Amino acid sequence: MTEEVNAVVEKISPEAHAAYERIHASDDFARLKKAYTGFVVPMTLAFLVWYLLNVLCSNYASGFMNTYLFGNINVALVFGLLQFVTTFGIAYWYAKYSVQKMDPIADALRDDFENEVER
């Protein structure tokens, strides 16, 4: 390792390093990581595709987008407003999900770490 590497990063004690490595290898951490990626990866793909679909339809599906549903409300406007609905919905869903599935594991692991390192 050259001298420059990590020269100014906060120094991590050997105990802290060992604790990080142990937690990283634990089943609980694997569960936490799975709970996290299992939610955010498909959700990110979904909302990006959904958003780009709105952009692409605006460009290339004018017949569909310009269909009037009632009065002056057309599909394009409803599509755009649905982006707001899905954004609020995903945010709310993530708030519920993270409190139930992620936070308890994260809290326990953090407590372990603090007990291990600070004593």
CB-nearer residue toward another protein: 91 or 119: 91
Contact between residue 83 and residue 48 where contact means Cβ atoms under 8 Å apart = no
Rg (CA), the chain: 23
What is the enclosing helix (H) or strand (E) of 73? strand 73-74
Nearest Cα neighbor of 33 from 46, 43, 23 is 23
**DSSP 8-state symbol, 98:** I
Binds another protein by CB under 8 A, chosen from 21, 38, 49, 100: 21
Q: Is 115 in the site for another protein (CB under 8 A)?
A: no
Q: Is 93 in the site for another protein (CB under 8 A)?
A: no
Binds another protein by CB under 8 A, chosen from 15, 38, 49, 95: 95
Nearest Cα neighbor of 55 from 91, 79, 24 is 79
Give the C-alpha separation, 66 to 32, whole Å: 45
Number of residues that bind another protein (CB under 8 A): 65
Residues that bind another protein (CB under 8 A): 1-2, 4-9, 12, 16-17, 19-21, 23-24, 29, 32-33, 36, 39-40, 43-44, 47-48, 51-52, 54-60, 62, 65-66, 70-74, 76-77, 80-81, 83-84, 87-88, 90-91, 94-95, 98, 103, 105-106, 109-110, 112-114, 117
